[in-house]
Amino acid sequence: MSELTNFTLAEARDAVRNKTVSSVELTRAFIGAVEAARPLNAFITETPERALEMAAASDARIAKGEGGALEGLPVAIKDLFCTKGVRTTAGSNILSNFIPPYESTVSQNLWDAGAVMLGKTNMDEFAMGSSNETSHFGPVFNPHRSRGSNANLVPGGSSGGSAAAVSGSLCLAATGTDTGGSIRQPAAVAGIVGLKPTYGRCSRYGTVAFASSLDQAGPMTKTVRDAAIFLRAMASVDPKDSTSVDLPVPDYEAGLDDGVKGLRVGIPKEYRIDGAPPEIDALWAEGVEWLKRQGAEIVDVSLPHTKYALPTYYIVAPAEASSNLARYDGVRFGHRAQGARDITDLYEKSRAEGFGKEVQRRILIGTYVLSSGYYDAYYIRAQKLRSLIAQDFTEAYKKCDVLLTPATPGPAFAVGSKTADPVAMYLNDVFTVTVNLAGLPGLAVPAGLTADGLPLGLQIIGRAFDEATVLRAGRALEIAANFNAKPAEWWKA
């Protein structure tokens, strides 16, 4: 059975298509893996019965010679995507009993392609966090541990459950969302592939909003090929999301192995930061060599406003969040405090009980920066910086086709080690937020290990809607890195 869970998405797809394995067999194997991995706390809600029903339906379609691109393939869904009839919590107490009467467009696209839902993965509350420790449903543990250590490490965040589920072979692929790095950072520290597509590539309809102008759904998979397959199924223009973009979704898998010969790869000097572990810079240099050796042209570029990216992000994202999260008021759905004296008391109690500390912090920051008298000093200036940051990329892309950067400033860290210092936590996204602010695609590819055996990733950043080139460059990195570190399945003990 363990062989089945070791399949990549592409391998499983071919096996199911060729009927060498049935979807029900495959699904049972993953249901078993999910159950066995409960110590990881990767799932908030497991849906084994539904998975088996979907698998049986897939097998029936395959028997009739029908079936979509992901027919019969068990996947996990971040608990930020609303799933009709299945509890959707956003990792928050305020939605701990929320069962949506509708399906998100991204998950619907997956079901339409034949995918099978194993369950809903754990995440930082409302996607606010970089370690999955802000979840109301408890932290997720990274399947990887330092060599010779039993200490639990974080899987990154906010898509920590999805990262752990893919890394621990609990599913073939998982959806993530990325507002400032929430796909790429956990992917990097859990040793998997994570792609944040261009803003507008995947519909946001039915995905619980954190920061609307930055949120973007994307694939978290074992391989770059799997990311290409999964993204194609997730992406669509959507009349229900005005910010989704009406461009054809290409077959990303088609040109994946075309190589990087002649591709101009930019190396932004601002991504070399003081205090980063030497392993990060070393891996980055190695990545440069790998691509150069495969025929890429390396170009030095500058993204001069990079240093403003984190402060800009921590104004824009909380501002939007403070407004997006106003609907959780205890009136219509979600947690409602008992014994409220009046409506204001109901709001205050419901929200105080329903939201965790980090969410409250960001709501306060967001409310502050939008307040009259502060709006110009914070929000307007942040918007200007955002334009400048986007402009940096436009300039850089005059000289290159993609950028190569580290994915994170370090490997997975110990659970509890950064929770007391929000700013230290925020620094995890230093290499990823710029991409969200500019609305560009970014891909994290596992590329190496620390001396302690912990995964590290590299990031390829591309032009808007040029995921195909990003994936092609990522595939070249993947080949050269030959990353094959599998976590010891310590949770099965």
Partner 1 sequence: MSVQPKLLKGQTGDWEIVIGMEVHAQVLSNSKLFSGASTAFGAEPNSQVSFVDAGMPGMLPVINKKCVEQAVRTGLGLKAEINRTSIFDRKNYFYPDLPTGYQISQYQNPIVGEGEVFIDLAGGESLRVGIERLHLEQDAGKSLHDQHPDSSYVDLNRAGVALMEIVTKPHMRSSEQAAAFLRKLRAIVRYLGTCDGNMDEGSMRADVNVSVCPAGGYEQFRVTGDFKHLGTRCEIKNVNSMRFIAQAVEYEARRQVDVIEGGGTIKQETRLFDARAGETRSMRSKEEAHDYRYFPDPDLLPLVLDDAWIEEIRASLPELPDEKKARFESLGLSAYDASVLVAERETADYFEAMLAAGAEAKQAANWLNNEYFGRLNKAGLTLAEGPISAEANSAIVQMVASDVISGKIAKDLCDIVWSEGGDPRVLVEERGLRQVTDTSAIEQAVDAVIASNPDKVEEVKAKPKLAGWFVGQVMKQTGGKANPAAVNAILKARLGLPEEG
Catalytic residue annotation: 78, 158, 182
Peptide bond into 162 cis (omega under 30): no
- The Cα–Cα gap between 28 and 92 comes to 29
Contact 123, 157 (CB under 8 A): yes
Output 240 or 261, the one with its CB closest to partner 1.
240
Output 129 or 200, the one with its CB closest to partner 1.
200
Site for partner 1 contains 133 (CB under 8 A): no
- Of 353, 375, 409, 479, the one binding partner 1 by CB under 8 A: 375
- Of 109, 121, 134, 207, the one binding partner 1 by CB under 8 A: 207
Site for partner 1 contains 180 (CB under 8 A): no
- The Cα–Cα gap between 159 and 123 comes to 5
Q: Identity (one letter) of the amino acid at 244?
A: S
Site for partner 1 contains 138 (CB under 8 A): no
Q: How far is the CB of 326 from partner 1 (least distance, A)?
A: 2
Output 269 or 327, the one with its CB closest to partner 1.
327
Neighbour-count burial of 355, counting CB atoms closer than 10 A to its CB (0-12 exposed, 13-18 middle, 19+ buried) = buried
- The Cα–Cα gap between 198 and 211 comes to 15
Site for partner 1 contains 382 (CB under 8 A): no
Segment contacting partner 1 by CB under 8 A, of 59-67, 70-78, 221-229, 339-347: 339-347
Site for partner 1 contains 307 (CB under 8 A): no
Site for partner 1 contains 102 (CB under 8 A): yes
Contact 353, 93 (CB under 8 A): yes
Output 331 or 377, the one with its CB closest to partner 1.
331
Q: How far is the CB of 126 from partner 1 (least distance, A)?
A: 10
- Of 319, 445, 473, 477, the one binding partner 1 by CB under 8 A: 319
Output 37 or 321, the one with its CB closest to partner 1.
321
Contact 63, 76 (CB under 8 A): no
Output 279 or 320, the one with its CB closest to partner 1.
320
Closest C-alpha to 471, from 235, 289, 151:
235
Site for partner 1 contains 237 (CB under 8 A): no
Site for partner 1 contains 347 (CB under 8 A): yes
Output 208 or 276, the one with its CB closest to partner 1.
208
Site for partner 1 contains 41 (CB under 8 A): no
Output 284 or 465, the one with its CB closest to partner 1.
465
- Of 243, 294, 419, 450, the one binding partner 1 by CB under 8 A: 243
* Total Cβ atoms within 10 A of residue 293: 11
- Of 23, 41, 58, 104, the one binding partner 1 by CB under 8 A: 104
- The Cα–Cα gap between 184 and 218 comes to 10
- Of 6, 371, 387, 394, the one binding partner 1 by CB under 8 A: 371
Q: How far is the CB of 490 from partner 1 (least distance, A)?
A: 35
Site for partner 1 contains 360 (CB under 8 A): no
Residue 80 phi/psi, 5° resolution?
A: -100, -15
Q: How far is the CB of 455 from partner 1 (least distance, A)?
A: 31
Segment contacting partner 1 by CB under 8 A, of 152-160, 246-254, 315-323, 484-492: 315-323
Residues lying near partner 1 in the complex (CB under 8 A) are found at 81-82, 88, 90, 95, 98, 100-102, 104, 204-209, 211-213, 239-243, 319-320, 322-323, 326-327, 329, 331-333, 343-344, 347, 367, 370-372, 375, 379
